[in-house]
Every structure is written in structure tokens, then in C-alpha cells.
Chain A
Amino acid sequence: MKKLYSIFKQGIIFDNPLLMLMIGLCSAIAVTTSVSNGIGMGLAMTFVLLFSEVIISLFRKLIPSMIRIPIFIIVIAAFTTMVDLVMKAYFPDLSKSMGVFIPLIVVNCIIMGRVEAFASKQGVAAVIADSFGMGLGYTWVLIGIAAVRELLGNGTLAGIQIMPASYQPILFFILPPGGFFVFSLFISFNIWLKKKMEVSARNKELAVKKEAA
């Protein structure tokens, strides 16, 4: 259980797919113009990641390593198309606002990367922990970036007006350059946070040792 928790934890800060592993960046810049898009994309991605990883992990002994990449793509594409169809049929509003980004989950490197590096080697329980950790890591960064961009670039949060009416939105933040800018701030923040957590973990260890001695 402790092992699973540590796998889950990895994806959130230490091995954050966007800020540390630096994969799946295109979607992170593209959808983060509004918070609701960030939430929807994060959930859809987590769903596809979870099911693709579980299937690959279950079948990992039956997948010849020479053709593993095409098989991974088939599995991921099948689940993405299912999500797309189900959303169109039962959540038309969400599907409308997500537009073209759902089909793009297929080419999201996070799923490909995690399936290749993790799911094809690990058991189902570890894989579930990993996909939730990675999914959460992806989602919080998307929501964070989207919140900054939407607030400064549009004066709203999840469609609700936050800034006073006199506030002139800074369009720069909605446009792609602003996306890169906010994204880089998040990367440096995450590295700072990681260092800080490592230092405090080491101090704790030292304190424990001192007490023992």
C-alpha cells in the first residue's frame, strides 16, 4: 500500500508529466485558455490514461516487443474514440467546448510515454496508482495555468467574472506566447518546490538519526 502511495505521489510533483518529464506540452498550452477546458481535458486524459495503462498492463506478456508501439497506439486510439463518442452522445455541451482536443488525446505523449515506460513492465495495481498520479499531476498543472491565463487575459475564472469591469484584459496571456510564459513560471515554481521538499525530507531524516544517536 505504501509503495502504491509513493507511485501515486511521484506524478504530482517529483515526476510531474508536464513540469518535470516535459511531455504532453502541446495540449497543455493549447487548452489552458479557460479553467473549464483545463478540467475537462484533465479528466478526459486521466480516463484514457487509466484504461490504456490497465489494458496494456494486463496484456503486457502477450505483446511482442517488436510491434509494441503500434499496439499501444491502437489501444490508446480506441479508448480516445470511445470517450469522444460517449461525450458527444451524453455530454453534448462538454463535447462542444472541448472541440478538437479530445481526438488529440491520441497523440498526447504522456499516455504513450507512461504506457511504454511504466504500464508495459508493471502489474495492474501499480499501474492504476501511476495513472491516477500522472492524471492528477497533469490536471492540476492545466487548471493552474488556465486559472492564471483566464484571470489575467479575460478577467474571468471558469466563466465567472472576477476582475472589476474597469479591468482591461491583458490579451497576451490568452495568446500562445502568454501560454509559454505562464508555463515557464510553473516549471520554475515546481523545481523550487521540489528542492524545498527534498531539503526538508533530508533534515527530517537527519533529525531522526540524531535522536537515535
Chain B
Amino acid sequence: MKKEMAKLGLTLMLYASLACASLAIVYAITKDSINRQGEIQLQTSLKDIFPQAVSFDPIQGLTSTDPNIKFEAAYEVKGGTAPLGIAVKAIGPSYGGPATLLVGVDLLRTISGVRIMALTDTPGLGMNATNPTYYVNKAKKTTFLGQFDGKALTDPFQVKNDVVAITAATISSRSITNIIKAAGDAAIAYMNAQASTAPADGSAQPQTGAAVDSAQPQAGGK
């Protein structure tokens, strides 16, 4: 009896190890390509939001006001020598799991564009956020993300108030809106801290005077 069980256990182990080995091979082959796809996706989205941009320099020090929303990366966007704005890659909870968004904020303190990197909400409902032919405003052909373009961050960012929700996907709409708002606010707080002259709302101290003209003339960088 015991011998029989040991034999069965060993057989199972053999099958499991074979499966593991073949998975490891496939993983090793596809790993680089998957990482590259993620990198390509990020770069194209950045270019998409800031078409005139020449370089994207990683920056640190953005803090999220919402404990559920984390920032994976942030970039200072530069067109030649002049800064154009800030792009934030933010992750926050949505209806079907975490959502990853790329939020661009320009120097006018408005959203210059939002792209979805990863979203796993309900197909046909929450996933309409990524659908380029799903219009929240059919007459103007505005997509759900499109309605944020040029939106000032002083707006309330409230679904069913100044943000049109995706039909039957209020939770997804609200989560995405919250992530955009958090990322935008953090980007503006960063800009304010960096700016030599304090902006009108005066929420930041003009302590780092030299930051703006430190834009290096290193065009064509990654």
C-alpha cells in the first residue's frame, strides 16, 4: 500500500516536473519579447500623448494622495530643451482588478491625454474605456478617455457631474476618473514644487529656483 502511494507520488512528480521544464523554456523564450512589448506600448503611448516630445526623462518624488493609487513611473516630457509637461504611469483599483493608466499633464495644468496600459474589466461594459469607437458623446465622437483631453485639474472630476460615465459601468468610470485625478494632482504638485515662480493658487513654495532652466540640451535621448 505504502509502496503504491510512493509510486503514484513519484509519477505525479515526474509529470509536474516535465510540465514545469517546458513552461520554463517557453517563458525564457517569450520573456524578452513580453518586456519589449510593454516598453514599446509605453513609448508609443507617451509619443501619442505628447507628439512634439523629443525625450522622456524619468523623475522621482511624486506622491499619491490616495493610498490605493500607486505611481509606477513618472517622466518629465521635453520637446528639445523646453519642458512640455509630465507623464505619470499610475496603478489603481478598478472593477475587475488593477488598472494601469498613463496620464499626461501639460504646463497649463490640464490633462493632455490619457492612455490605458492595462485593464481587466468586463468586456462590452467597463472595457469600453479602451474602445476607440465607443463614444460618450456620439455627436462629437468623444471617447470615454477623450473627454479628459484638455480638462483642467481644478475641475471636480466627478462621474455623472463633469465626467460622462460609460453606460452600465459606473464603477469602472469612477475608478479610472479617480486614478486620472490622483495622477494629475501629483504631477501638478511636482510642477509647482519645481517651478521658479509660484503659480496663481500658491500651493507650493518657490524653493527650487534653478529647476526649470536645468533642462539639458540632450535631444534624441530615450
Contact = CB atoms under 8 A, between A and B. Distances in A.
A97 B16 CA distance: 30
A134 B16 CA distance: 27
Interface residues of B, number: 33
A85 B32 CA distance: 11
Contacts of A64: 7-8, 11
B8 A174 contact: no
Contacts of A77: 19
B12 A67 contact: yes
Interface stretch (B67-75, B79-87, B121-129, B195-203): B121-129
Contacts of B167: 171
A13 to B, nearest CB: 27
Contact of B8 (A34, A67, A92, A150): A67
A148 to B, nearest CB: 13
A74 interface: yes
A85 B19 contact: no
Contacts of B119: 99
A37 B123 contact: yes
Nearest to B4: A66
A171 B168 contact: yes
B54 to A, nearest CB: 26
A70 interface: yes
A33 interface: yes
A100 B168 contact: no
Looking at chain A's contact residues, the main secondary structure is helix
B123 A33 contact: yes
Contacts of B22: 78, 82
Interface stretch (A16-24, A153-161, A188-196): A153-161
A112 to B, nearest CB: 16
Nearest to B139: A165
B43 interface: no
B97 interface: yes
Contacts of A174: 124-125, 168
A36 to B, nearest CB: 9
User: Chain B interface secondary structure, helix, strand, loop or mixed?
Assistant: helix
Contacts of A90: 30, 33
B30 A100 contact: no
B4 to A, nearest CB: 9
Contacts of A81: 23, 26
Nearest to A149: B124
B26 A86 contact: yes
B27 A85 contact: yes
B184 to A, nearest CB: 24
Given A88-B37, A89-B33, A75 B12 contact: no
B11 A67 contact: yes
B185 to A, nearest CB: 28
A36 B124 CA distance: 11
Interface of B: 7-8, 11-12, 15-16, 19, 22-23, 26-27, 29-30, 33-34, 37, 41, 96-97, 118-120, 122-125, 127, 130-131, 133, 138, 167-168
Given A34-B124, A74-B15, 6 more contacts: A63-B11, A78-B22, A86-B30, A100-B96, A161-B133, A174-B125
Interface of A: 30-31, 33-34, 37, 63-64, 66-67, 70-71, 74-75, 77-78, 81-82, 85-86, 88-90, 92, 96-97, 99-100, 149-150, 153-154, 156, 159, 161, 165, 171, 174-175
Pairs of residues from A and B, 5 with the lowest C-beta to C-beta distance, nearest first: A33-B124, A89-B33, A89-B30, A78-B19, A85-B30
30 contacts: A30-B123, A33-B122, A34-B124, A66-B8, A67-B11, A70-B12, A71-B12, A81-B26, A82-B23, A82-B26, A86-B30, A88-B30, A88-B34, A88-B37, A89-B29, A89-B30, A89-B37, A92-B41, A96-B130, A97-B127, A100-B97, A100-B120, A153-B124, A154-B124, A156-B133, A159-B133, A161-B133, A165-B138, A174-B124, A175-B168
